[in-house]
Structure 1
Amino acid sequence: MEFEEKNIAYPPVHPGTDRTFIRFYSGKPDLNQIFYSQEQEDQPQRIFVTDTNVASLKEMQPFVNFFRGEDYSKPEIKPGFKGKRGNDVLLILGSGEPFKTIQSVLAICSAAIDSNARRSAVFVGIGGGVITDMTAFAASIFKRGALCELVPTTLLSMVDAAVGGKTGCDFDSYKNMIGSFFPAQKIHIIPSFIQSLPESEYRSGMAEVVKTALLYSKDLFEKLAAKPEILQNRNDPLVEQMIKTCVNAKATVVEQDLTEKNIRMQLNLGHTFGHALETRAGLGTVSHGDAVAWGMSRAAVLSEKMGLCTQKYRTTIQNVLASFGWETTPLHSALKGKYSSEEEAANSLFEAMKKDKKNASGKVRFVLQKDIEETVITEADEKDVLCVLQN
């Protein structure tokens, strides 16, 4: 059979913005000052998105109450609440990983459509990684691309989730299976938000801090290793220092590799194991940070098994993770009782890893380390992976 071929050349698809402005704020959160202190006639419409936990924070009340109208006196705001403030809209979703669904993303788009939003509208996600991921994803698909700003309110979203343009939602029990690369044009980081976090959420974010330190800052890792009590002291000057260190490190990586073709893959240290754990335990059962911390411990053991790192390095990593209260055993406690044996659990985790979106071939890709700031991206034999999940 003969054929003729015609090629069409395209410019790269624009990711919504060509730069992100990251602003660090001191003092208590004041979203009215950030978004309404200098209102202008040509101000684009904003679609604000948050969840019930964030909306109920004391610091958020002056902002939220402007959208409540006649509901101002009601003490509780339920998922699905929509309010208006001029042309702007506030949508409040349910809180947590179980709500990180395509239905929630579509609810954000519906709120924009119901308010006759134009393509020039700005979608503003106010919350943790679940909200920032979904809001940015909704912005990326609304009328083929609106604009996006983010206000991360958890430690995890400040140091990782909100920075770098990864968007998306979970699907069919697998983490972040649907999404896009769509950076926010502005990120507003207010470190004092972390004072309101429950201990579990703060610890979850700390796992991403430790991960970033292992990848890019030996100095920060040594400071964290010497001060695990920082989990009980959020006023320590090291807290704001570590947030800025992590943001700067991730910004440097993302500038070089937005769409994760090479060095950005390093940021997945601990995530191949961690995402599999989240999937098999049931999304939301184990926090993302706790899963990643356990994943880093397994990655360290795998690194040693493959001859990449020394026993001393592996022991150092596991001891530091354990000092922060994270699990480092082969079988995570969230999986105990779900399987008849460790072997069955290990096989189930490995099957979940095969579906990880980071894999480029039929094999499973891992981010491993020789030492702090010495990172290797490689594939591992199934028998070695199964071994570190059982011994």
Structure 2
Amino acid sequence: MTTLKVELGARSYPISIQANLLTQKDVLSAHLTTKKVVVVTNDVIESLFYPQVLQALEGYEVSKIVVPDGEQYKNLQTFESVISQLLAMSAGRDTTLVALGGGVIGDLTGFVAASFQRGIPFIQIPTTLLSQVDSSVGGKTAVNHPLGKNMIGAFYQPKAVIIDTKSLSSLPAREFSAGMAEVIKYGIIYDYPFFEWLEQNQQAIKQQDQQALQYMVARCCEIKAEVVAIDERESGLRAILNLGHTFGHAIEAEQGYGNWLHGEAVSAGIVLASAVATKMNWLEASEFSRIESLLSAFDLPIKAPTDMFFDEFVKHMRHDKKVQAGDLVFVIPQGIGKSVITKDIPEEVLRTVLS
């Protein structure tokens, strides 16, 4: 097992990573401080992994809440529904929530945990690649608003993150590819050797070699844990984790949540950010080509929707959480392995790229 730690003082927590981890009973119970447990999952994941979690929770008082599957259900209506069900089952501060599923479930459950009775403990069990390498770590919890993604939420850390890499075998190919956008992001913003490793190990990753997956997921979590420990609430450095997201969130909002998967939108966003960097002479054309090639190798989109141009992007980017004093703020690569947070992008450059 690979074990990492997110260092946040009294709120520090472990990340455990291994194949078939859900079948190991003590891995989950070691992080529980309450006898009551409510597992929040969706109607797809329930049949796949809930029986394993239930078996691992033998001896605990376990209930479940099942919500519909899909980004379009990550909203205040679903949030209220989960709160209502918790109240109906007399849950209280003596209850731990377990988020069993992908990024939607993790973000939703975390926000419920942060809000219900002003805060109850929760544990993340991410089952998608995107959630394993990104959204389950770092304590960002939220639901979407029609005008912007993740606009309603809180910073609230889990008690533990338990990652069973074997669960990735249940993912549709499109979902696995979407997760690879976040994986590749880490190499671009922070770790050139990791980017090279991804280029060299494409086949092992696609074939879901467990040793390769464990290393890949662990390296992503390690990078995110380092960044979060320095800047938990995204006042500075942590914003580099949003490479491709300013453009990507605009794509999701404009196209309708769920029509483009989050990772697909991020992939197109990474290419747009890289194109800006190339126009600014911050990124070599050869590096831009390598970024496009690696994204394409995992069947990710490298072009924005054909019906989105400058005005459509800016309309949504104005709602981005990184906007400062009315100025758009972007994460832009300055070569593979390095990135910068800047608002000094000339409008003519943006217009050229977004045309």
The reply to whether TM is greater than 0.5 is yes
Can you list the C-alpha shifts for 1:254-274, whole angstroms capped at 9, x where unaligned?
Answer: 011100011100000011111
Alignment of 1:80-119 (within 5 A): 87-119=61-93
Amino-acid identity (%): 31
Alpha-carbon distance in structure 2 between the residues aligned to 1:174 and 1:288: 13
Specify every segment of 5 or more residues in structure 1 that has no aligned partner in the other structure, as ranges: 1-14, 68-84
Aligned to 2:143: 169
Aligned to 1:256: 230
Q: How many residues align?
A: 347
Report the alpha carbon displacement of residue 91 of structure 1 after superposing the two structures with TM: 0.4
Report the alpha carbon displacement of residue 317 of structure 1 after superposing the two structures with TM: 1.5
Higher RCO (C-alpha 8 Å, min separation 6): 2
Aligned to 1:351: 315
Instruction: Flag the 1:63–1:322 CA change in 2: closer, same or farther, 3 A.
Output: closer
Alpha-carbon distance in structure 1 between the residues aligned to 2:351 and 2:74: 30
Letter of the 1:373 counterpart: G
Aligned to 2:14: 21
Aligned to 1:7: none
Instruction: Flag the 1:153–1:378 CA change in 2: closer, same or farther, 3 A.
Output: same
Aligned to 1:179: 153
Aligned to 2:279: 305
Letter of the 2:40 counterpart: V
Contact 2:38–2:95, Cα closer than 8 Å, also in 1: yes
Does residue 382 (structure 1) correspond to residue 347 (structure 2)? The answer is yes
Can you list the C-alpha shifts for 1:203-256, whole angstroms capped at 9, x where unaligned?
Answer: 111111100121222122112123433453012532111100001110011011
Contact 1:100–1:130, Cα closer than 8 Å, also in 2: yes
Name the Cα RMSD after superposition. Answer: 2.5
Alpha-carbon distance in structure 1 between the residues aligned to 2:290 and 2:302: 12
The TM-score with structure 2 as length reference comes to 0.90
Specify every segment of 5 or more residues in structure 2 that has no aligned partner in the other structure, as ranges: 1-7
Alignment of 1:169-208 (within 5 A): 169-208=143-182
Alignment of 1:1-391 (within 5 A): 18-27=11-20, 29-30=22-23, 34-35=27-28, 43-57=34-48, 59-63=49-53, 87-230=61-204, 232-235=206-209, 237-329=211-303, 332=304, 335-336=305-306, 339=307, 345-379=309-343, 380-390=345-355
Contact 1:268–1:367, Cα closer than 8 Å, also in 2: yes
Report the alpha carbon displacement of residue 357 of structure 1 after superposing the two structures with TM: 1.5
